[in-house]
Chains A and B, each alone.
Chain A
């Protein structure tokens, strides 16, 4: 069996009498894994355990089969923390090059590699300016560059979207999504669920230090038993469409929203989809949109923690 790139095995972490994590186990392969949880859930502790900055009170964390605190593990891992501060007087290129020097690169090669990575991350024009003059987005790119420049196999990103404008978020999402194609396993943490939906193939949900659920968003949603689901429907003659939809067996209720828009609450998704498809096929004014409203992580997470 192929080995995972990062693996948590029954990991617990205590800070004195405070339990930060309790018996957490999951594995990360060549993928983007979203780590979801409210503030204080234990996300940062999980990432810091993998980065070797913390040691587990119980259990094991392994990077490429090596203990996370070992030098071999650190050589294979890149971590982008969510702290704002960098070495402020340095330039972005100098900072990344300084970090690369510890990986054994010569001054010249480190500087060259730092320039390449920053250029790839879109900081090419500003890499020789002092960090103290950088915006949040530029700092985030420098943090990301120091995590990627030594070409690690595992990359950990702690709240990477925080403070970024929408364009920077989109760009960063694109960069993250490309990493598994290079054989890299990525863990991205966020307490803003919708940020992760576009980049993470799988999510791990943590709550109060425990692993709540793990899987694809759609899989997690489907595992919620007996939860009514909502759909948005756009079609002509909405009042008549609403009446016809309400007549379908699994429909619990219909709300009229916009001019041609309905919101439908259903009990059995499969049954509703089958019956509504038949209805829509014969509906002369036409049905242009049928989309689930509860696919998002916010909904799933909200249901899971009650």
Chain B
């Protein structure tokens, strides 16, 4: 018999155990675990019905773009029409929402329904799991939004006589590049929100609205550096060479951009993404899943 005061005795007739390294499968390294988390997250997210609805919506916007190009052929050049539609619809609205939704689903969805504990039990780095999930959701979002941008381009390009100097495929390339950079950065925000807050989608909504307000501030306002849309807008304007009219539409406040103001938007996004991922990793690695609510 053993009572509370005499608990250290344990069970002495235990067989000596071999070292853990000999007894068990060792587990994947960082890159292997990240690649596994990436592929598994992609497969899980691909089963989300919302993705197929989004894809249907993207096709419809292509049809709308074609209609607008045919109807409005005397007012806007093909290049400007594509830039406007791609920016205001895809880059400004669909990209942040779709990316952060997918990342939150991939990371916080697991925490919410407690399936994440099955992953945390494995002999792999939690950081690898988080980065794999972030990358998978961001790449999926970039692919979906990129497909939408391409559909828009096809819709506008289907009316060739509104492209004065011929169809500009470079604009499509710029938007696809912008979409990938934006998805990774928005994904990093979603990653941080998911690892840190109980209601990450609410924080994502607050962030998107806040960056819309920040876009109305003067160009020099420091708070713009904390948004994703500002570097994306700089990247766009630096590459598509808009006329002054398009520049005014894309740049709220009607402020002319000079090279020194544009800076290096890709570097700015890379720094922002790295900082956010570091914060997310710190939180995710320390996360505990207490059992009080069930007991």
Q: Which residues of A contact B (CB under 8 A)?
A: 1-5, 7, 9, 15, 18, 20, 24-31, 39-45, 48, 51-55, 63-66, 71-79, 81-83, 85-87, 89, 98-99, 101-105, 146, 150-153, 183, 185, 202, 210-216, 219-220, 222-223
Contacts and interface: CB of A to CB of B under 8 A. Distances in A.
Contacts of B23: 64, 76, 153
A45 B14 contact: no
Given A5-B14, A214-B7, A45 B295 contact: yes
B14 A2 contact: yes
Given A153-B17, A215-B2, A99 B123 contact: no
Contacts of B122: 74, 99, 102-103
A213 B3 contact: yes
Contact of A71 (B19, B36, B118, B123): B123
By Cβ-Cβ distance, the 8 closest A-B pairs, closest first, are A27-B10, A29-B14, A29-B11, A44-B291, A102-B122, A219-B1, A75-B123, A103-B25
18 contacts: A27-B10, A31-B14, A40-B292, A44-B294, A45-B292, A48-B289, A48-B291, A75-B24, A75-B123, A76-B23, A83-B117, A102-B27, A102-B124, A104-B27, A213-B3, A214-B3, A215-B3, A220-B1
B75 interface: no
Interface string B24-54: 1111100011001000100010010000000
Contacts, number: 189
A5 B23 CA distance: 12
A202 B117 contact: no
A50 B45 CA distance: 31
A195 B149 CA distance: 60
Interface residues of B, number: 49
A79 B123 contact: no
A26 B7 contact: yes
Given A54-B289, A219-B1, A75 B26 contact: yes
Contacts of A98: 40
Interface in B71-87: none
Contacts of B290: 15, 20, 45, 48, 54
Contacts of A151: 24-25
B114 interface: yes
Given A20-B292, A44-B295, A87-B115, 18 more contacts: A2-B13, A3-B17, A9-B8, A29-B15, A45-B291, A51-B117, A53-B288, A64-B20, A74-B27, A76-B20, A86-B115, A86-B118, A101-B36, A103-B122, A151-B25, A152-B24, A183-B17, A210-B4
A66 B120 contact: no
Nearest to B17: A64
